[in-house]
């Protein structure tokens, strides 16, 4: 709605809007100047509304387009068994839990889901949080209560970064996926109390995998605890989709796993999986669990149904990986650097933010929605298109994307020059001081 629309100007309501006076109708110069600066640097972000379920094809601005930016990897967000489970739970339990789990919001679907998640991750117990972000905000400070130092991968997810910053323990950063660097840091001036090591399993913007066997070895040698954020690995990685830990054959290893219900499982929420003692401790100490309303029971029921589908339909993962390999191979042949992607997340490294924005808009003109990813989400000079494949895509849709990219590159000299410029990821910046990106 524009500033001059009748509803905002105090005129009659239009389009179903309620005519209410603005209580804060002034422009804040500080905010506006910062927004202008973001726009000047091609870093301003806008919301775009999709008017359909998040499948392979969606409706955007009245057009049917291909969606290649969703984390709905197994195409379960609108699966009949998943949606019916949510509807059934709403009819029985209502929409919301009504309170935090420790008050009166702990319902049957929560307990059932936690038992299923523990079995899925092959650990003793699990605890569900309202979001994956809250799961990390609850887990890390609880684990760090008796730690002096936390070591984090340079490209950890923002929720892990923020969780670490909430702790009194000192934060140290090791180079991305560099287990040797971590081992040296762990052995250098070892603190009197064990350290905490945190990493993503699948990194959300690069699509690469943490070297979990080597990280686990380094952590065990230093008597440190390893935490794996497996938000993008759960349901996707491993022979049975149990995650990155299963992918590396490390089930039973001494580590803590975090996962989400909002990506491959198609719903909403997060969870921690580990020992029974850990889960009981989190129930008593994890503030984002204690002091927030519980996950809606419908979301818990939907996640349980999604786990059923994952077990019953392994062909979804097979199809996902076949489509992923088709797209990844084609993108590489066009000339894009896809970094070290080993997952359904495929980055198309461009470099400059404005060039990434331009590529995104040109893809949209070809009917492909894949937004540009820019700082601070990724380091300066590594702006990109982050494409993600789902089991709901079809081979001809993958081919359409590749044809669109081929045509765009052929007609854009600046983009071709950027692709000829070689790698612009961490392999050329190892001499820089490692730092976590801003939130």
Per the CB < 8 A criterion, the answer to whether 275 and 124 are in contact is: yes
Percent helix, strand, coil in the chain (nearest 5)?
Answer: 40, 15, 45
Say whether 226 sits in a helix, a strand or coil. Answer: strand
> Any catalytic annotation for residue 217?
no
- Of 316, 305, 301, 348, the closest CA to residue 73 belongs to 316
Tokens encoding 400? 């359409």
**Catalytic annotation, pick one of 204, 343, 388, 418:** 204
Q: Give me the numbers of helices (H) and strands (E) for the chain, helices first please.
A: 16, 13
Q: How many C-beta neighbours within 10 Å does residue 16 have? A: 6
Interacting residues of 179 by C-beta distance below 8 A, sequence separation 6+: 211, 214, 215, 217, 218
242: exposed, middle or buried (Cβ count in 10 Å: 0-12, 13-18, 19+): buried
Q: Compute the residue count for the chain.
A: 439
Residue 345's H or E segment, with its range, is strand 345-351
Identified catalytic residue from 110, 232, 328, 393: 232
Report how far apart, in Å, the C-alpha atoms of 127 and of each of 106, 290, 303 are.
11, 12, 13
263 among known catalytic residues:
yes
User: What phi and psi values does residue 152 have, to the nearest 5 degrees?
Assistant: -130, 140
The catalytic residue among 263, 341, 360, 383 is 263
Interacting residues of 48 by C-beta distance below 8 A, sequence separation 6+: 60, 61, 371
Cβ-count burial of 65 within 10 angstroms (0-12 exposed, 13-18 middle, 19+ buried)?
Answer: middle
The label of the residue with tokens 């040296």 reads 184
Residue 8: φ, ψ to 5°: -75, -25
How do beta strands 383-388 and 372-373 pair? antiparallel
Catalytic residue status for 52 = no
CA-based nearest residue to 195, from 226, 173, 216: 226
Catalytically active residues, by annotation: 204, 232, 263
């Amino acid at each position: 709605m524009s500033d001059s629309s009748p509803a905002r100007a105090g005129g009659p309501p239009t389009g179903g809007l309620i005519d209410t006076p603005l209580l804060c109708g002034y422009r804040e110069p500080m905010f506006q100047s910062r927004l202008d600066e973001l726009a000047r640097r091609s870093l301003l972000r806008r919301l775009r509304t999709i008017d359909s379920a998040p499948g392979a094809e969606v409706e955007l601005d009245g057009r049917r387009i291909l969606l290649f930016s969703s984390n709905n990897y197994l195409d379960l967000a609108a699966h009949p068994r998943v949606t019916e489970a949510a509807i059934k739970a709403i009819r029985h339990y209502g929409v919301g839990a009504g309170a935090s789990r420790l008050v009166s919001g702990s319902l049957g679907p929560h307990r059932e889901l936690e038992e299923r998640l523990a079995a899925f991750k092959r650990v003793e117990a699990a605890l569900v949080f309202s979001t994956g972000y809250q799961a990390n905000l609850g887990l890390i400070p609880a684990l760090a209560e008796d730690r002096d130092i936390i070591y984090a991968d340079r490209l950890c997810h923002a929720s892990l970064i923020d969780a670490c910053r909430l702790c009194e323990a000192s934060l140290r950063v090791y180079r991305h996926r560099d287990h040797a660097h971590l081992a040296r840091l762990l052995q250098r001036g070892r603190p009197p109390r064990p350290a905490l090591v945190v990493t993503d399993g699948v990194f959300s913007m690069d699509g690469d995998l943490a070297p979990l066997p080597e990280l686990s070895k380094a952590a065990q040698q230093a008597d440190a605890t390893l935490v794996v954020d497996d938000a993008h690995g759960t349901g996707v990685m491993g022979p049975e989709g149990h995650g990155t830990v299963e992918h590396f054959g490390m089930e039973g290893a001494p580590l803590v796993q975090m996962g989400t219900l909002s990506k491959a499982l198609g719903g909403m929420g997060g969870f921690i999986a580990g020992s029974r003692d850990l889960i009981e401790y989190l129930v008593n100490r994890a503030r984002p669990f204690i002091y927030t309303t519980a996950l809606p029971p419908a979301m818990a029921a939907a996640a349980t149904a999604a786990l059923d589908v994952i077990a019953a339909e392994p062909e979804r993962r097979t199809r996902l990986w076949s489509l992923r390999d088709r797209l990844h191979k084609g993108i590489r042949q066009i000339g894009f650097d896809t970094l070290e992607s080993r997952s359904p997340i495929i980055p198309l490294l461009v470099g400059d933010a404005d060039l990434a924005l331009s590529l995104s808009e040109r893809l949209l003109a070809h009917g492909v929605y894949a937004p540009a990813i820019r700082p601070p989400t990724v380091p300066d000079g590594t702006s990109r298109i982050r494409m993600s494949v789902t089991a709901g895509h079809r081979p001809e849709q993958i081919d359409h994307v590749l044809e669109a990219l081929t045509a765009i590159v052929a007609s854009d000299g600046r983009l071709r020059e950027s692709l000829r410029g070689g790698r612009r990821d961490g392999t050329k910046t190892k001499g820089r001081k490692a730092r976590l990106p801003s939130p």
